[in-house]
Structure 1
Amino acid sequence: MLTALYNTQIVSNGNITGGKAVIIQGDQILAIVDPANIPADVIHVDLNGAYLAPGLIDLQIYGAGSLYFGGVPSVEALQQMEQGLLQQGCTGFFATVATNSNEVVLQAINAARAYRPTAIGNFLGLHLEGPYINALRKGAHPEKYIKKATLAEVQSWIELAGGEVKMMTLAPELQDEEVISYLHNQGIILSSGHSNATYTQAKAFLNNPIQAATHLYNAMPPLHHRKPGIIAAIFEDKPYASIIADGLHVDYAMIRLAKHELGDKLFLISDAVTETTEGTYLHKRQGDKYVMPDGTLSGSALTMLTAVKNCVNHVNISLPEAVNMASLYPAQLASLKTKGKVEAGYDADLIIFDTEFNPAFTIYKGKTRYNNKHQL
């Protein structure tokens, strides 16, 4: 049975399009048509003028709900993340583990493998943020767990993961070439983060083969007129770069600058955590942010849709482009070729939201998964 979503504003690929209907067949978008051309014998769904956009994709999030996967990894935490993020319109995410003990990293890998057979599917894999970072730019990461990678350890983790490790944030200037080459050859997205690389060092590894930069501006040397550092190299070489658009981790004026310099390579992450009293990271919520016990800024309290809203309201980025930053561009970095657009042949993973950025419901694999206001 086909489903037709109509009376909507389609936000996709840099445009807002009205007066069209989205036809869903199974788990894919079959066609975008004029309402007069909706096939007979389909389920008609009136969206009452709401926005319809591709499902949002978060490549760096540590937890959602009451369980903090990033510090105490478990099957239950992944299950809670999948369900909670679908409710927010996030139809794809990398569950992230920050610098921690080997025991916690292995716990995360084992949880991902154990959960995979019963996963809904919006859990796309793991992002290991550390422990192979630069202690000079550790941020909230505990120095006692920071170390240089060894090929033997990296191989053991990747082989055990069986494809579940999709992305790694590390400080490339400190790693041996054999480690970088091995990870790149395994198809893992490599991102420079918590790095103290100089401009010259960064120019040598960005896009060769480091594909991305993690949470731009945070945990890296600031831009300086006599020491341009990694930020200048990022602006010149334009790898993909993630950014936390909460106005706290990065001032909105600096997001505007980054957008001007990086264009379609700048993408949004939530970097979201949950409050916890267990494990290495004892995040405590303070207003719209989380801090460590010593007051160090840690993760955000963002949802991806709120990050989109902030880009529109505070950075003067258009709604279609802000949606691209939260869907199409992360999909492109992660080689998710049928995600990030509302077009024929793309996955029927969709978020429907109103003009105040309140999510109405989420369609995942062609079916309504979480519903706040409407019924299909």
Structure 2
Amino acid sequence: MQKALINSILLSGGNYYYDQAVILRSGIIENVIPEAEVPDEMIRIDLKGDWLCPGFIDLQVMGAGGALFGGVPSVEYLAIMEHELLRQGVTTFLPTVSTNAPEIMEQAIASAVAYRKVAIGNFLGLHLEGPYINPKYRGAHPESLIHKASISEVKNRIRNAAGEIKMITLAPELQDADVLDFLQHQKIVVAIGHSGATYEEAIAFFSGEIKTATHLFNGMAPMHHRTPGLIPAIFRERPFTSIVADGIHVSFAMLELAKKLLGDRLYLISDAATLTTTGIYQHTFKGDHYVTVAENGQEVLSGSALTMLRALQNCVIHAGIALPEAVNMATLYPAQVLGLATEIGLIAPGYAANLVAFDQHYNCSAVFFKGNLVEA
């Protein structure tokens, strides 16, 4: 059955669209037409003048609603994350599994494979952030569980995942060439992160196949004028690069600078954690972020308290990024990272009917997933 979303201002592809109706049918956007042309007999949903944009795409989120999937992986936790994130307007996400014991990593993969049969559908697959990272830039990752990748372990993990691993963050400077070559030929986004790569190593990593960088400025050496490292290489090569726009992981001044330098290659992630007292990542809420206690007994920043809508708001209010462009950073650009930009990330005919409405105060007012209104 067709229905028309009316009385909204569309934000899509970096533009504003006024007085347009979005026609939904069978889970897709059938058309976008002037409101005056909507047939009288069609069901109309009045969005009361709010903004309407594509559903948010979060490629790095550790937990939501009290479910930290990477800590104690289960199908139950994936279900909680799907429902909670959908309520927040996240219509595509990668639950992120940080460095953990091998049996926990395998449990996460097995849970993802099992859950696929009953998933709502905003769970797209897994992002493995570790354990193949540089211990010097580990952040909250436990040093004792970080290790170099072996080709046999990587192949077994990919095989067991049956397509559920969509993204891997690693430190390429520590990996053998056969591992990197194998991953490059899988349908997996390979990202550099938690890395001590030199400038030359990073430039080499970004050459050839499109690769990405994980949470700019975090888990990497700061810039130095005599020893340029990963950050200047990112600014030169301009790969797709994620950033945590909470003003804590990255100051808003640096967010603004990164946007000027990277333009349409910079995209938003929440890197959100959730309160938990189980597993090796026991996150404590500190008002506007999460911390955990590392193996050395020191408290360390371990996750944000962002939603994707709040990250978008921060870009507009604190970094001077135009609203339509901030929307692109949460929708179109991550869709391009995934290779899905012909299916999600825009409001256009033939695209998935995954949409978010929000008011002028950045409160989420409606979410549509596969054309259906999501109950709060």
TM-score, length of structure 2 as denominator length: 0.97
SS in 2 for 1:370: coil
Partner of 2:104: 104
Partner of 2:326: 322
Partner of 1:299: 303
Partner of 1:168: 168
Contact 1:207 1:239 in 2 (8 A): no
* CA RMSD across the alignment: 0.9
| CA-CA distance at 1:82 after TM superposition | 0.4
Q: Deviations over 1:121-153 (max 9, x none)?
A: 000000000000001111110000100000000
Q: Deviations over 1:270-290 (max 9, x none)?
A: 000111111111111101010
Choose the corresponding residue for 1:343, options 329, 338, 348: 348
State the number of aligned residues. 371
Q: Does residue 361 of structure 1 match 2:373? A: no
Q: Deviations over 1:43-68 (max 9, x none)?
A: 11111101100000000001110121
Name the aligned partner's letter for residue 162 of structure 2.
Answer: G
Q: Distance in 2 between matches of 1:295 and 1:16?
A: 44
Partner of 1:374: none
Specify every segment of 5 or more residues in structure 1 that has no aligned partner in the other structure, as ranges. Answer: 372-376
Contact 1:190 1:209 in 2 (8 A): no
Contact 1:133 1:147 in 2 (8 A): yes
Q: Distance in 1 between matches of 2:210 and 2:291?
A: 29
Within 5 Å, which residues of 2 pair with 1:261-272? Answer: 261-272=261-272
Q: Deviations over 1:163-211 (max 9, x none)?
A: 0000000001111111111111111100000000010111111143461
Q: Does residue 8 of structure 1 match 2:13? A: no
What is the percentage of aligned positions where both structures have the same residue? 53
Partner of 2:72: 72
Partner of 2:227: 227
Q: Distance in 1 between matches of 2:83 and 2:233?
A: 39
Name the aligned partner's letter for residue 323 of structure 1.
Answer: V
Q: Distance in 1 between matches of 2:64 and 2:42?
A: 36
When residues 53 and 207 of structure 1 are mapped into structure 2, their CA distance, relative to the original with a 3 A threshold, is: farther
| CA-CA distance at 1:41 after TM superposition | 2.3
More displaced 10-residue stretch of structure 1: 151-160 or 209-218: 209-218
Q: Deviations over 1:345-369 (max 9, x none)?
A: 1110000110001001110001012
Q: Deviations over 1:307-330 (max 9, x none)?
A: 000000100001100010000000
Within 5 Å, which residues of 2 pair with 1:195-206? Answer: 195-206=195-206
Contact 1:192 1:210 in 2 (8 A): no
Q: Distance in 2 between matches of 1:121 and 1:334?
A: 15
Q: Distance in 2 between matches of 1:181 and 1:23?
A: 44
Q: Distance in 1 between matches of 2:32 and 2:165?
A: 35
SS in 2 for 1:24: strand
Q: Distance in 1 between matches of 2:218 and 2:333?
A: 20
Name the aligned partner's letter for residue 119 of structure 1.
Answer: A
Q: Distance in 2 between matches of 1:122 and 1:261?
A: 31
Q: Does residue 27 of structure 1 match 2:27? A: yes
Q: Does residue 334 of structure 1 match 2:338? A: yes
Specify every segment of 5 or more residues in structure 2 that has no aligned partner in the other structure, as ranges. Answer: none
Contact 1:86 1:370 in 2 (8 A): no
More displaced 10-residue stretch of structure 1: 199-208 or 83-92: 199-208
Q: Distance in 2 between matches of 1:145 and 1:71?
A: 13
Within 5 Å, which residues of 2 pair with 1:94-133? Answer: 94-133=94-133
| CA-CA distance at 1:40 after TM superposition | 4.1
Q: Distance in 1 between matches of 2:69 and 2:365?
A: 26
Within 5 Å, which residues of 2 pair with 1:120-159? Answer: 120-159=120-159
Q: Distance in 2 between matches of 1:181 and 1:39?
A: 55
Q: Distance in 1 between matches of 2:39 and 2:153?
A: 56
Name the aligned partner's letter for residue 22 of structure 2.
Answer: V
Name the aligned partner's letter for residue 223 of structure 2.
Answer: L
Q: Distance in 1 between matches of 2:150 and 2:202?
A: 21
Q: Distance in 2 between matches of 1:242 and 1:314?
A: 17
SS in 2 for 1:117: coil
Q: Distance in 2 between matches of 1:36 and 1:259?
A: 38
Q: Distance in 1 between matches of 2:98 and 2:36?
A: 51
Q: Does residue 237 of structure 1 match 2:209? A: no
Contact 1:130 1:146 in 2 (8 A): yes
Within 5 Å, which residues of 2 pair with 1:34-49? Answer: 34-49=34-49
